Structure 1
Amino acid sequence: MPLYSKQSLKIYNSLTGEKEIFSPVHEGNIGMYVCGPTVYSNVHLGNLRTFMSFDVIFRYLLHLEYKVRYVRNITDVGHIVDDVDEGEDKIAKKARIEQLEPMEVVQRYTVDFHEILKAFNFLPPSIEPTATGHIIEQIEIIKKIIANGIGYESNGSVYFDVKKYNETKHYGILSGRNIEDMLANTRDLDGQSDKKNPQDFALWKKAEPQHIMRWPSPWSDGFPGWHLECTAMSTKYLGNHFDIHGGGMDLKFPHHECEIAQNEACTGQTPVNYWMHANMLTLNGKKMSKSTGNNILPGEILSGKNTILSKPFSAAVTRFFMLQAHYRSILDFSDDAILAAEKGYKRLMEALTILPNLATNSTTSLNIAAWKQNCYDAMNDDFNTPILIAHLFEGVRFINLLNENKETISTNDLIDFTKTMQVFILDILGLNEEKSSDNTISKLEGMISMLIGMRNQARADKNFALSDQIRDQLIALGIQLKDGKEGTTFSIQ
């Protein structure tokens, strides 16, 4: 019997605004699509948080023994500046500024994206399609939408007729908007006259003479609309109706709204059962922005080359920091917050190293089965990682008591407890141990031993002021000394 049949998973569905019991389209199999990056710049920290949220979701679904097809795309064409239908493609603009071919820009930042995700211990998706690799599929979808009377050609471009669609469907069902509000808030843009209505969005854009990225189509040499790309790639690999579609909160409108409309207009089917959206990340209480300097890239956290943080932090600590908040809540990133997370992460990982050395008894003082189910219940409640982490720290407290011989555990319970701690920390949360080179560790231990020797000499000379100074300064660096019968030992907090 697969593990998923023993657990009741609930997912918050952005479409209904409620937590719903998860039931896949096909039993035991899950199709999940997540909107990937537009590769015209380095992946930013907010994007990293979104992808990390879905990495944990992917990991948990795999742990529950579902067969998961996880599709996360690469947007390498068609994403217009400011996410409107008029303007310059972000990749083409970057290529023009840096005097590169657009695909050089795509390659550079796709490599950066993969390197960053690997550093942060992400599992790769099952399929990672590119928008440029699916131009034919996009053209075929446009043909069907036109044939169904919901799309129209105008001066070589093709637009989605929102008012026509809204006669039988609800454009705005995901974001809770209506056409009247959209009409009132629509800006006048160059080229707007090509549309029947201001709220219509592009399915295909005719390329201007200077536009580099272009493909032939029945309507013009041009390029696809941004929204259409995800519709083509998600349905090709997951079918016209699949389980989960995810992305950042900022994609709910217009991107995901347009995806729903396009799929309905093309196939007549509701595309997705569960829409999931990760919330935003702020920096020092403010929106992250390159223009104001209130911005930090993931690589800058690892290197320490930034003006925001007091020191470098590992990918594992940064990951732990992000998972301390629920994926649907706003999370503020700051030096104080990640310093606190670093201490918590070290406590968690140190407890794992103690586990193999614990002694066993005939009885167990903690109800391991109930604690274990609490861990599952947290993840079953819309992937609530902060509650899970709280239960894991209950486990840490129990480990420390066992290590001090203040609690007892049976052999069988220790095996189950150890496996549960390891699975949730390493496999599901995706936290791994920070790695230091043997040479670095040896040098650090040698330096601390030298300071312990200096402190011992100071105590022998009754120079207690120097002795206390050495101890206190080591504590400030997170190095705790412990005096015992066998001499002085240390631990790094």
Structure 2
Amino acid sequence: MHLYQNQTLKIYNSLSGEKDVFKPIHEGQVGMYVCGPTVYSNVHLGNCRTFISFDLVYRYLKHLGFKVRYVRNITDVGHIVDDEDEGEDKIAKKARLEQIEPMEVVQQYTVDFHQILEMFNNLTPSIEPTATGHIIEQIEVIKQIIDNGYAYEANGSVYFDVIKYNESHNYGILSGRNIEDMIANTRDLDGQSDKKNPQDFALWKNAEPEHIMRWPSPWGDGFPGWHLECTAMSTKYLGQQFDIHGGGMDLKFPHHECEIAQNEACSGHTPVNYWMHANMLTLNGKKMAKSTGNNILPRELFTGNNTVLSKAFSPAVARFFILQAHYRSILDFSDDAILASEKGFNRLMEAVDNLKDIQAGTTSTLDIAAWKNTCYDAMNDDFNSPILIAQLFEAVRYINSMKEGKESLNASDLETFKKAFHAFVFDVLGLQNEKEIAANNDKLEGVINMLIGMRNEARANKNWGLSDEIRDKLLELGIQLKDGKEGTTFSL
């Protein structure tokens, strides 16, 4: 029997504006799509908050026993500067400025993105498709939308006909925007003459002769619009209707609104049952922005190489800080706030260490079943991590009382408590015990140095077979030896 069969999970659904009881389309299985990064710059802390929030969702669904297919894309083409249909592709612009190939830009920042999320202890998604890897699928979606009468071609570009779509559908169903208000508030922009209406958005853009990123299509050489990739990739891997679609609050309009329109215009189906949006991260009370300098990158946070904070903070502390706020609330990042989080994190990890040494008593003086239920109640209430953390600090109080001999648990209750505490701290919240990691790293370093010593001895005895075997076996484990003048070093 799986945990989800005994739990009632409620998710705040941006589509309904309410917390809806979660019922997956297929029992025991969840399809979840989250909009990934546009890889033209280093991932910033606000983006990381979104990805950590959905990592929490992914972890909790898995903890409940659901089989989750988590798809998170990489946007490596089609995201226009200022998110308008007219302008330069962000990746192509970065490539032009740095005088490198667009795919060099993509590779550099995709690697950075993966490294940062690994430091934050995010689980990898089930599938991580790229926009450039799904051009054919995007062209097929456009063809279907044109055939259904909701798009038109103009001078090698294809635009979605918002007014025509709105005659039989609701463009604005997610964001709550009214099409008449949108028309009234739109200013005519030069260069938009190919569109029937300013609200229409690009499904396919004609590539100018100098445009590097281009693909052949029935409408001429060009590249896909920004919104199209998510429609093509989410439905390819999750089906025409799936359970959860997530992203940052800033994507609700136009990106997610356009996704709904594209899906309905293509397949006739509303694509997603539960739309989830993570809120923004501010810095010292103001919006994070590179242009104003009110910005901090994750690596600057981890190294302390910044002008915002008094010291360096570890990825685990930063993750804990982010999870201390509900994903739908605005979170302000400041030196005082993360210093307070660090103290709380250290208290929690101290309790983790203390719990290992606590022995069972003959009787239980604490109601562990009730405590455990409050933890599940918190997470079942739209993944309320701050309430869960408050319950974990209640558990810290229990641990301290047991350490002092004021409270006790019998063997069975103690085992239940240890398992549940460990599951919520590490499996669900995804926190890491840095002391344990450091201790394990020291042990690993000691073992590798011992093997290097054995290899040096083998080489001195001209036992090249053993020497090579040690080197090759370590390489298979991802440990590379480097022989130099100063001796042999290693890298993981």
Residue aligning to 1:239: 239
Distance 2:187 2:291 in 1: 24
Secondary structure at 1:95's aligned position in 2?
helix
Residue aligning to 1:132: 132
- Give the letter for the 1:381 counterpart: D
Residue aligning to 1:172: 172
1:270-285 map, 5 Å: 270-285=270-285
Secondary structure at 2:388's aligned position in 1?
helix
Q: Deviations over 1:8-62 (max 9, x none)?
A: 0000000010000000000011000000000000000000000000001000000
Q: Deviations over 1:107-158 (max 9, x none)?
A: 0000000000001100000000000000000000000000000000001100
Residue aligning to 1:287: 287
Query: CA 1:112 to 1:328, structure 2 compared with 1: closer, same or farther past 3 Å?
Result: same
TM-score where L is the length of structure 1: 0.88
Residue aligning to 2:428: 428
Residue aligning to 2:342: 342
Moved over 4 A (4+): 435-441
Secondary structure at 1:48's aligned position in 2?
helix
Residue aligning to 2:472: none
Residue aligning to 1:36: 36
1:88-487 map, 5 Å: 88-435=88-435, 437=438
Distance 1:135 1:189 in 2: 28
Query: CA 1:438 to 1:234, structure 2 compared with 1: closer, same or farther past 3 Å?
Result: closer
CA deviation after TM superposition for structure 1 residue 437, in Å: 4.8
CA contact (8 A) 1:215 1:221 kept: yes
Query: CA 1:121 to 1:195, structure 2 compared with 1: closer, same or farther past 3 Å?
Result: same
- Give the letter for the 2:2 counterpart: P
1:13-92 map, 5 Å: 13-92=13-92
Distance 2:183 2:220 in 1: 28
- Structure 2: 5+ residue runs without aligned partners? 443-492
Distance 1:211 1:440 in 2: 48
CA contact (8 A) 1:86 1:190 kept: no
CA deviation after TM superposition for structure 1 residue 344, in Å: 0.3
Distance 1:323 1:231 in 2: 29
Secondary structure at 2:193's aligned position in 1?
helix
Distance 1:150 1:358 in 2: 66
Distance 1:341 1:204 in 2: 46
Distance 2:121 2:440 in 1: 24
Distance 1:185 1:210 in 2: 34
CA deviation after TM superposition for structure 1 residue 359, in Å: 2.4
Identity of aligned residues (%): 76
Q: Deviations over 1:183-211 (max 9, x none)?
A: 12223323211011110000000011111
The number of equivalent residue pairs is 442
Q: Deviations over 1:86-115 (max 9, x none)?
A: 000000000000001000000000000000
Distance 1:290 1:70 in 2: 30
CA deviation after TM superposition for structure 1 residue 434, in Å: 1.4
CA deviation after TM superposition for structure 1 residue 212, in Å: 0.9
Q: Deviations over 1:46-91 (max 9, x none)?
A: 0000000000100000000000000000000000001010000000
CA contact (8 A) 1:8 1:380 kept: yes
Residue aligning to 1:466: none
- Structure 1: 5+ residue runs without aligned partners? 442-493
CA deviation after TM superposition for structure 1 residue 360, in Å: 1.9
- Give the letter for the 1:240 counterpart: Q
CA deviation after TM superposition for structure 1 residue 292, in Å: 1.5
Secondary structure at 1:11's aligned position in 2?
strand
- Give the letter for the 1:116 counterpart: I
Secondary structure at 1:244's aligned position in 2?
strand
TM-score where L is the length of structure 2: 0.89
Query: CA 1:438 to 1:33, structure 2 compared with 1: closer, same or farther past 3 Å?
Result: closer
CA contact (8 A) 1:86 1:189 kept: no
- Give the letter for the 2:174 counterpart: L
Distance 1:169 1:137 in 2: 24
- Give the letter for the 1:106 counterpart: V
Secondary structure at 2:274's aligned position in 1?
strand
Give me the CA root mean square deviation: 1.4
- Give the letter for the 2:102 counterpart: P
Distance 1:348 1:163 in 2: 55
Distance 1:440 1:368 in 2: 34
- Give the letter for the 1:334 counterpart: S
Distance 2:354 2:438 in 1: 21
Residue aligning to 2:468: none
CA deviation after TM superposition for structure 1 residue 440, in Å: 11
CA contact (8 A) 1:12 1:20 kept: yes
Secondary structure at 1:193's aligned position in 2?
coil
Distance 1:438 1:161 in 2: 60
Q: Deviations over 1:456-475 (max 9, x none)?
A: xxxxxxxxxxxxxxxxxxxx
Q: Deviations over 1:150-179 (max 9, x none)?
A: 000001100000010001000000000111
Secondary structure at 2:418's aligned position in 1?
helix
- Give the letter for the 2:62 counterpart: L
Secondary structure at 2:366's aligned position in 1?
coil
Query: CA 1:380 to 1:440, structure 2 compared with 1: closer, same or farther past 3 Å?
Result: closer
